[in-house]
Amino acid sequence: MLPARFPTLRGLLEGLEGCRVVGDDSVPVPGIAYHSREVVPGGVFVALRGLTTDGLLYVPAALEQGARIVVSDRDLPLPEGVTLVQVPDPRLALAHLSAAFFGHPSRELTLIGITGTNGKTTTAYLLEAVLTAAGHRVGVLGTVNYRLGERRWPAPVTTPESLDLNRYLREMRQAGATHAVMEVSSHALDLKRVDRVAFDAAIFTNLSQDHLDYHRDLETYFQAKSRLFLEILGDGGPRGLAVLHVDDPWVRRLWARVPGPVLTFGRHFEAQVRPVWTEFRQDGLTARLTTPWGELHLRSRLVGPFNLANILAAAAAALGLGVAPEAVAAGVADLRGVPGRLERFGPPEGPHVFVDYAHTPDALASVLAALRTLGFSRLTTVFGCGGDRDRSKRPLMGQAAAEGSRLVIVTTDNPRTEDPLGIIADIEAGLAEAGLRPVGLAAIRRGEPGYLVVPDRREAIRLAVRLAAPGEAVLVAGKGHEDYQIWGTRKLPFDDREEVRQALREKGWEPD
């Protein structure tokens, strides 16, 4: 959705420090692009430095498309009539220009950001349900998709680039959205995709090992996450509310440093929103919370202690933004489930087959711990690890699976350009460290613990379901809602949920 009248370059640059303009800054701006092929005639091309390429290489293509303004952090010769905007940080400039071009849509919405290693997607779904129960029209930007009501956009990344983000927020506002919920990834924070966005509240769920192929170490990863609370929360508007999970030691480190209002949640006695009584069942959970707004009784179809933490996060944020406790309880109860997040399949008597996105050691350990509390006679885990990603977490994933399951079937995830068997070998090192040994089918049928290697993910899922009996549970972990598998550079159709359904049908059971 474009502005009714094109703003001038001078107007868009207002408030952006350190920029040097060479050329005419009074020209109207009909559009902004960071891909040369998306440049509109007379528009702006922002040359970003990428991980594998440099936007300066595409300036000639942008000029051929009709770019009249180029934004870069380096001086460069341009044809007559083309304006150069030289800036210290092109990514910050893109965020600044994008927010201004679309009229700062985040300031017209009640916007909630969610960051953390695990729990972002479920917390977003919970908040969407709670805010909807309170009578609001809610847009969501997250890992599964971007959505508003019945409208859906594909989500190529968890948090879109700043230009796309502001476009989506403007479209949502134009379509009547009053609130928006956004998952905020560490990559997005590091790459300044959410700078110049006005958040009314931000949630920090937890922090554990992930994305170390990008961030190098946990401390750098933590600092990227912390930007949301220390630098961005309230950027362009009043200081927003920080909603912090104080059970997590990394989040507790941040607690004292947040300059604005804070609301805490968790099981810790200092948490302002915390459970005083809980009951976990195979079909959900019940909890009684103490909050600054009084006691709150909740029922949910979500399973396990880690989902209670997600419920606490959503309830705290909603209450902190003025949502009535009754609406919080109604929204939590209304949510039937989250795609690919401990999503259950199988007949009521079992076996219970769960599909979950858990792809970090902590997430896998938390999901398995939740399932162990539910009294299944045997727990089987099917999982692999992604290629071209943090190798150091693979043995840790193996350890988590071994410690939480009686039977582990190791398979492929998204191998990308790596050798799948090499990835599996890294996982096996962790299984061995935890004391789990390879076993054959005869030993498995006798109930002995151990692990199998089945590289074909489809066959691994079918085998796990064939071996399962009523009263047992199978966890298929790692891909969740994804409907593809990446081999080399090809993205091939593959959906764990459909594979589970087919495996259950082959055994004569109804999948749902």
- Please say if the pLDDT value at position 215 is more than 70: no
pLDDT of residue 239: 83
pLDDT of residue 50: 82
Q: Percentage of the chain surpassing pLDDT 90?
A: 87
Region 465-473: mean pLDDT is 94
pLDDT of residue 362: 87
- Burial of 237 by CB count in 10 Å (0-12 exposed, 13-18 middle, 19+ buried)? middle
Q: Which carries the bigger pLDDT value, residue 347 or residue 414?
A: 414
Give the start-end residues of each E strand in 293-395. 296-300, 343-345, 352-356, 379-383
CA distance 397 to 358: 10
- Would you tell me which CATH number, out of the four given (3.30.1490.190, 3.40.1390.10, 3.30.565.10, 3.30.70.920), belongs to the domain 9-101? 3.40.1390.10
| 32 and 47 Cβ atoms separated by less than 8 Å | no
pLDDT of residue 167: 97
Q: Tell me the pLDDT band of 115, cut-offs 50, 70 and 90.
A: very high
Q: Which fold has domain 105-334?
A: UDP-N-acetylmuramoyl-L-alanine:D-glutamate ligase (3.40.1190)
Domains of the chain, by residue range, sit at 9-101, 105-334, 343-506
pLDDT tens-digit readout, 318-375? 999 999 999 999 999 999 999 999 999 998 887 999 999 999 898 899 999 999 988 8
| 82 and 69 Cβ atoms separated by less than 8 Å | yes
pLDDT of residue 106: 96
CA distance 331 to 48: 41
Region 56-77: mean pLDDT is 96
Token output for 401: 């699976």
CA distance 42 to 29: 7
pTM listed for this prediction: 0.91
DSSP 55: G
- Please say if the pLDDT value at position 237 is more than 80: no
pLDDT tens-digit readout, 270-315? 999 999 999 999 889 999 999 999 999 999 999 999 999 999 999 9
| 305 and 280 Cβ atoms separated by less than 8 Å | yes
- Would you tell me which CATH number, out of the four given (3.60.110.10, 3.90.850.10, 3.90.190.20, 3.40.640.10), belongs to the domain 343-506? 3.90.190.20
Residue among 466, 147, 481 nearest 341 (CA):
481
pLDDT of residue 379: 97
pLDDT tens-digit readout, 13-23? 999 999 999 99
pLDDT tens-digit readout, 250-282? 999 999 899 889 999 999 999 999 999 999 998
| 123 and 332 Cβ atoms separated by less than 8 Å | no
pLDDT of residue 283: 86
Q: Percentage of the chain surpassing pLDDT 70?
A: 97
pLDDT tens-digit readout, 362-409? 889 999 999 998 889 999 999 999 999 989 999 999 999 999 999 999
